[in-house]
Amino acid sequence: MEKLLFIDDDTEMLSLNQTYFSEHGFYTDTAANTDDARSLLKETVYDCIILDVRMEGENGFDFCRTLKNLDDTPVIFLTVLTDDESLEKGFLNGGDDYLTKPYRMKELELRIRARIRQKRSFEYEDRSSGLIICPDEKQAYIGTSSLGLTVNEFQILQFLSQNKGIPFKQDEIYEALWGESYNTHSVQVLIMRIRRKLKEFSPDKEYIRTQWGKGYVFTE
């Protein structure tokens, strides 16, 4: 059961959120301020934290920054602040998502589930190669460094890694991903770019090799 922590000085809203999410299969705790939240965090590891910005004492932006210095639990800001400056500040202080009040419960639920799923997909790691593949983000990492892949580059890297040790020719890759067998030169260009990006962060490791006459293969 996923565990949620709602932090908000609006006790009525806390009660509504706790009722809704408890009824939808989540273990749900609430805190009216960051001091109460700290006490709960000492006892429980949460899958997602939903955080107001304007509260008495420490504000949500500062508290989020503190949280992110400790671990990578997803944080969703839930606030009345709709201006672009606050939105930017939320993400700059480590927020993973930002939703303004009033809001629909179902939308908040979907955002929470997405952030939890994203974190879990990030935790998938090919331990033999050090490559981290995040399907929900359509991105890959070496350690904490993003490769900055385009969508097509990610699709090729994911396809080859899922078929580790099996060589694929350019037309086979193109047909498997996009259902056609023409314009295969684009696969060669994309793989060249992927290799360059991988090499930048892992110069001693060759992830994609060329087997002459057989194609490209993802290696351990």
Q: Are residues 102 and 189 part of one domain?
A: no
Tell me the two tokens of residue 194: 């992927």
Report how many domains make up the chain: 2
Cα gap 40→46, rounded to integer Å: 10
Domain co-membership, 142 together with 64:
no
Amino acid 127: pLDDT = 46
pLDDT score of 137 = 76
Judgement on whether residues 38 and 87 belong to the same structural domain of the protein: yes
Q: Which residues pair with 146 in a beta bridge?
A: 141
Among 79, 104, 122, identify where a domain stops.
Answer: 122
Give the number of other CB atoms < 10 A from CB of residue 129. 19
Task: Supply φ then ψ for residue 164, to 5 degrees.
Answer: -55, 130
Mean pLDDT calculated for residue range 181-209: 87
What pTM value is reported for the model?
Answer: 0.58
Task: Assess whether pLDDT exceeds 80 at residue 182.
Answer: no
